[in-house]
Amino acid sequence: MKHLVVDVQPGEYTVARLPADAPVPAGLLDRPGLVSVTRTPAELSVVCPSEHAPDAATAQPGWRLLTVRGPLEFTLTGIMAALSGELAAAGVSLFALSTYDTDHLLVKAVDLGRAVRALRASGHEVTKP
């Protein structure tokens, strides 16, 4: 795997699950930071900065966001596999998502130090705010 630059983003993120027929929370997409909204037949999943998280019966705050510096070419392969494998070997669970330009990993805040050490030990550059 090639050397990647991974930026630790400031702030805490929440991953929330709303009912499949729930509307997208008003104003959510107008907020700063990464916001991801995904609808499936079973759920509306929201990832956003914790201070903007919707009220949801099922929500997990306490995530930190790591962003692979991009943009990444669509022809690149194995980026998410390599990063997730390195984190798994260090015992760090993750929540992964991708955008058009790059890949993002969320790790629990309590695991951030282990995640950074694991990625650096694998030869990646990790920057922190």
- Tell me the whole-structure pTM to 2 decimals: 0.93
The DSSP secondary structure of 20-60, one letter per residue, reads TTPPPPTTGGGSSS--EEEE-SS-EEEEEEGGGPPP-SEEE
pLDDT of residue 74: 82
pLDDT of residue 1: 58
The residue ranges of the chain whose pLDDT is under 70 are 1
pLDDT of residue 56: 82
pLDDT of residue 20: 97
pLDDT of residue 107: 98
Q: Which domains does the chain have, with CATH numbers?
A: 5-127 (3.30.2130.10)
pLDDT of residue 77: 86
How large is the angle between the packed helices 79-89 and 112-121, nearest 10 degrees?
A: 120
pLDDT of residue 65: 98
SS3 assignment, position 96: strand
Closest CA to 33 of 106, 92, 94: 106
SS3 assignment, position 15: strand
Contact predicate 28/44, CB 8 Å: no
